[in-house]
Structures are given as structure tokens and as C-alpha cells.
A and B are shown apart, each in its own frame.
Chain A
Amino acid sequence: MYDLFFKKFRERIDLSPEEEIQIKSYLIPKKIRRRQYLLQEGDICKHIAFVEKGALREYSIEGGTEHIILFALEGWTVADLFSFLTGEPAVYTIDALEDSELVLISKSSHEELLQTQPKYETYMRLLITDAYIALQKRLTSSISLPIEERYKNFVETYPDIVQRVPQHMIASYMGLSPETLSRVRKKMLNQK
């Protein structure tokens, strides 16, 4: 139920069995089915969600169009961070692309852990740094690379997402129309 959560944790920071038990007592195991919402925009984001199994996406809806800001597969963490931190209404919606198993951490548990468990705090700093790096790379590539290169980068960086997520969602993630992405893919196939 928490295997991957602690595996990822230990990859970065040593934990004694006692520390693991302490942290575990704060975690919420939660299953969610395909197409169900974990968070709808306008609500307050009350949890950080770690994906043990399955796949979620986070997106904003503008004028009826969905713009995907994140795919979260096994090992990823997802939340509307601004809403979680400030208690302001969320601008993002999070739903499940597959039946999934999550580990949730509530705001009050998060704060208690930050106060009582320095290793949790360090881990959270590492997680947010990783997420920041991924965003910086994504923005760099979306601003300075031609579409073919961007798609190639995406496929190389996230082969699992390409396998498991429908193309029109990948187009939305890249800020392209599905038609444009499909043209680019055809062109790339022909070049091979």
C-alpha cells in the first residue's frame, strides 16, 4: 500500500524502521477509479497525492478546453500546490486516467510532519526541487525547440506516458492541437 512511497523516500534519505512507522501513521491509503476526480477547480486542495499505482492528470479548463499541466504516473506526486499551501480555491482539476492507488497526505498531517520529522522536510524540499527542474526543462524545450524535437524529447523522457496516455492529451500537454501533433508524428515515422 505504501511500498513505492517508501522506496522512493529511501532512494533519497535513510529512514529507520521507527521513522517509517511514524511517517506511515500520517498517510492515507486511497483508491480512485478511472475518470474520477481527486480535485475539482474551485475547491480547496486538501491533500498531496503520491501515485503508488495508476495514472492521474492535472489540468486547467479555459473556455471549455482542457490544458494539461501534469501527468502523474507511479512514483509521482500531484496537487494544486498553490491551493494546498495557501488555502485559496484550486485553479487545477485532477482526475484519474486509470484505476489508481494513491497515498494522500492532508494539510494538517503535512504540517505536523514538517514540524516533527526533519527527514520529511528534507524529502519535501527534494521533491519540490525535482518538480521545479522538470518544469524548467519543459518550458525551455517548449520555448526554444521545434515541435518535432519537443515531441522526441517528450517520448525519450516519458516513454510510459506515451504508451498509456491518449495522443490528444499529449497534444494538450504540449499546447498543440491534436491535428498538429498527429502530423508531426506521421512526419517522424516517415523519416525513419
Chain B
Amino acid sequence: MLEPLIAHFESYLPLKESEMQLLEGRVTQRKIKRRQHILQEGFPCKHYSFVVEGCFKMYGVDQKGNQHNIQFAAENDWIADIGSFHSNKSSKLFIEAIEPSLILQIEQQDLYFLYQSIPKLDRIFKVIIENKFVELQNQVLQNISSTAQERYAAFLEQYPKLALRLPNTQIASYLGITPQYLSEIRNERS
């Protein structure tokens, strides 16, 4: 059950047998249906979730009830409201499956235990978060500086595989534009 996660960690650094065993019992596997939430606004984000199969979106809902997608995660990626995860404060975000999915989840106390007992995970998670930080910083920069066209181009670069997999409405919500406008941008590009 843990193979995909171990393979993911080992793409950074090889793990010893004993280290792999420590992961047992600290990681839970869950099947998630399409449209099912693994995080709801108003609750703390209890898990760091690793996507084995499927695809998720993380979004906020504004006062008018509009959804705004902030992040996507497909196979071999992590998704969590990390601020809420570490602080135990209630989240302002939702995480929902866009496809039927299989995930591996780690709770806060278990992650802290793993950091303590497998120092390598310190390094691995440092690198994972560094990479995600750089992606997110690009996204923030796009958000304050770019046109919808440029943001779409950046989206394609960040999520090359997801562009075909995600419904138009979801990408439009991520870009902060209407689905109609997204179609226009796509037509212009082709």
C-alpha cells in the first residue's frame, strides 16, 4: 500500500528498510469518490495528503458564494492547507476530489514523529516544500502582475498534464476568469 509514497520519497533519497517500516501505521490509505471533500472550510486541516491516483482541487468560496481554485494536485503530489495543518486552526479552504481518487494521508502528530525518527524526511520535505514554494511564488507573481493570457500560459507550464484532464470551469476558476473567456483564450492560442 505504501509503495507509491516510498517511491516518491526515494526519488529524493533512498530509504532504509527500517525507515520504511516506521512509515507503517503512520500513514492511512483512503479511497475518495468524485466530488467528495477531504477538507471543509471551518475545520482544521488534519492531514497531509499524498495523491496516489486521481486529482484534487483546493479552493476558497467568497462572500457571494463563488468558488476560487487555488491549487490542483494529481498523482505524486501533495495537497493540504499547510497553515491550518500545523496550527490546528480552522481552515478557510476546501479540498475536493475532481476524479475518483486514492490517497495516502499523514496526520500532524505522525508527521512530527516521522521527522524525529527519520532525519532524512527533514531533508526530503524541505526539498518538496522548496519546490512547491517556488511554484506558489510564481502563481502569486502571476496573480499580481499578469494578464489572463499569461496566467493561462503559466498554468500550462505548471500543470502540463492537467490541462487536458480538468474541466474548463475548474481551470477558469483557477485563473479567475469566466469559462467563456477561457475558451476565447484557448481559441486565440490555437
A and B associate in one complex: yes
What is A's interface to B at a CB cutoff of 8 Å? 60, 62, 65, 67-69, 81-82, 85, 114, 118, 121-122, 124-125, 128-129, 131-133, 135-140, 142-146, 172-175
What is B's interface to A at a CB cutoff of 8 Å? 60-63, 68, 70, 81-83, 86, 92-93, 115, 119, 122-123, 125-126, 129-130, 132-134, 136-137, 139-141, 143-146, 176
Q: Which residue of chain B has its CB nearest to the CB of A143?
A: B68
User: What's the count of A-B pairs with C-beta under 8 Å?
Assistant: 95
Query: A129-B82, A139-B139 in contact; A144/B60 too (CB < 8 A)?
Result: yes
* Chain A residues with CB under 8 A of B144: 67-69, 142, 172-175
B128 CB → nearest A CB, Å: 9
Query: A172-B144, A173-B144 in contact; A144/B82 too (CB < 8 A)?
Result: no
CA distance A66 to B124 in the complex (A): 34
CA distance A128 to B128 in the complex (A): 10
A59 CB → nearest B CB, Å: 9
* Chain B residues with CB under 8 A of A121: 119, 122-123, 126
Q: Do B143 and A129 have beta carbons less than 8 Å apart?
A: no
Q: Do A140 and B130 have beta carbons less than 8 Å apart?
A: no
CA distance A67 to B138 in the complex (A): 12
Q: Do B83 and A136 have beta carbons less than 8 Å apart?
A: yes
A-B contact pairs, 24 of them (CB 8 A): A62-B146, A69-B140, A81-B134, A82-B134, A85-B130, A114-B123, A121-B126, A125-B122, A128-B130, A131-B133, A132-B129, A133-B82, A136-B83, A136-B136, A138-B140, A139-B140, A142-B143, A143-B68, A143-B176, A144-B60, A144-B62, A145-B62, A172-B144, A173-B144
Query: A118-B119, A143-B60, A144-B68 in contact; A133/B83 too (CB < 8 A)?
Result: yes
* Chain B residues with CB under 8 A of A65: 145
Name which of B82, B119, B143, B145 has the most chain A CB atoms within 10 A of its CB. Answer: B145
B82 CB contact (under 8 Å) in A68, A122, A132: A132
* Chain B residues with CB under 8 A of A132: 82, 129, 132-133, 136
CA distance A121 to B125 in the complex (A): 10
CA distance A124 to B130 in the complex (A): 10
Query: A67-B145, A133-B82 in contact; A128/B126 too (CB < 8 A)?
Result: yes
B21 CB → nearest A CB, Å: 21
B50 CB → nearest A CB, Å: 16
* Chain A residues with CB under 8 A of B141: 60, 67, 69
Name which of A85, A139, A172, A174 has the most chain B CB atoms within 10 A of its CB. Answer: A139
